[in-house]
Amino acid sequence: MLADRPRTAELGIRIGLLPSGPIGSIVDVPGVGVGHATVWRDEDDPPAGRGIARTGVTVIDPGGNCFREPVPAGGAVLNGAGECTGFLTAAEWGLVETPIFLTSTMQLGRVFDAACELLIEEEPAIGAEDVIIPVVAECDDSFLNDARRMQVDRVDVAAALAAARASARSRAVPDEGAVGAGTGMSCLGFKGGIGTASRVVPSGHTVGVLVLTNFGERERLTVDGMPVGRLLPPLPPGDPTAPPAGSCIVVVLTDAPIDPAGCARLARRAGLGLARTGSTAHHASGEIFLALATGLRAPRGTSPSGAPVQGHDLDACFAAVVEATEESVLNSLLRAQTVVGRCGNTSSGLPVDEVAALLRAHGR
């Protein structure tokens, strides 16, 4: 269901000053993988069928065994109208003990349960020596997806997790746009979903970002500083669009030696990247950010060796987060095709040719 649509770099758009990683995605960070399971159904309403499904699951796997070797982490909340399980534990301990699972709002519990079951099967110590709280974050895809039906189940979570593990080995650019958790999401008046990008900082470390975009108004869409949303032709009268409040999850991963306090500072910078694309963090939109750093990873119950990057030395990583977040949002828009969902609701893909023409006309 993925259309052959360009990414930001393929259009010649250069966001910021730092170089991208080799494939321009979060999987540029060593060991990291991304996997999706897309749930797309067109069935009758129950009891004859399961209704219209435009949803799914996306998994970001930091690599290795997160229970035996937790990952230093920190988070930030720009607007809290959303949910991310495990966020409080990450803030308290400065560690993440599971992969990151993304899905739609009403499916969060199902994904949490399935994540527990799957990780227990992989690691006998879970539940025997200590419990886990999987990190599961959500956005509301109910404009396109029938959220009154429980559309996601364990097999979808298992498929996304397996795909993430395979992705870490293949080193390919993950699918973007209307895929996995992004299947039913809309962003800045157009079809949104999954987007990813990366930056390499002068120290040689990589900062990768993956976003689940479901926020914003069409008129505020900004591409490389251009007010594209105001320059594109207006929608026909009466053409419905998704409401501007729907949330955005940003996951940052780096191989730099950054401690939990530094991770929280990194996570906070994601909001600057969203603002550069047109986000104003609406009242009912949940902007939740999580940053993980594998450079100081240590076995469970032990302290890391080595000194963390601190102070002014974090500045390049801050800039990398801002740039990669902005580019990730644009990739989520550029890569997403038009999707028709429940009740005929339609989220239109960004008109790539028109956007490219506008950028060229204004010297971009």
Cβ distance 324 to 198 under 8 Å?
yes
Q: Which two tokens stand for residue 55?
A: 């949803």
Measured distance CA(264)–CA(278) in Å, rounded:
23
| Catalytic, out of 138, 287, 326, 327 | 287
Is 287 a catalytic site residue? yes
Instruction: Choose among 322, 326, 333, 332: nearest CA to 355.
Output: 333
Q: Is 186 helix (H, G, I), strand (E, B) or coil?
A: strand
DSSP state of 348: P
Cβ distance 27 to 208 under 8 Å?
yes
Cβ distance 322 to 16 under 8 Å?
yes
Helices 260-268 and 270-277: angle between axes, nearest 10 degrees: 10
DSSP H stretches of helix in 28-175: 87-93, 108-122, 154-170
Instruction: Choose among 276, 275, 256: nearest CA to 266.
Output: 256
Is 279 a catalytic site residue? no
| Catalytic, out of 25, 104, 167, 285 | 285
| Catalytic, out of 20, 104, 247, 279 | 247
In sign, the C-alpha dihedral spanning 205, 23, 187, 225 is positive
Measured distance CA(44)–CA(42) in Å, rounded:
7
- What radius of gyration do the chain's Cα atoms show? 19
Measured distance CA(307)–CA(143) in Å, rounded:
47
With vertex at residue 50, the alpha carbon angle to CA 47 and CA 53, rounded to the nearest 5 degrees, is 160
Is 247 a catalytic site residue? yes
Catalytic sites, residue numbers = 247, 285, 287
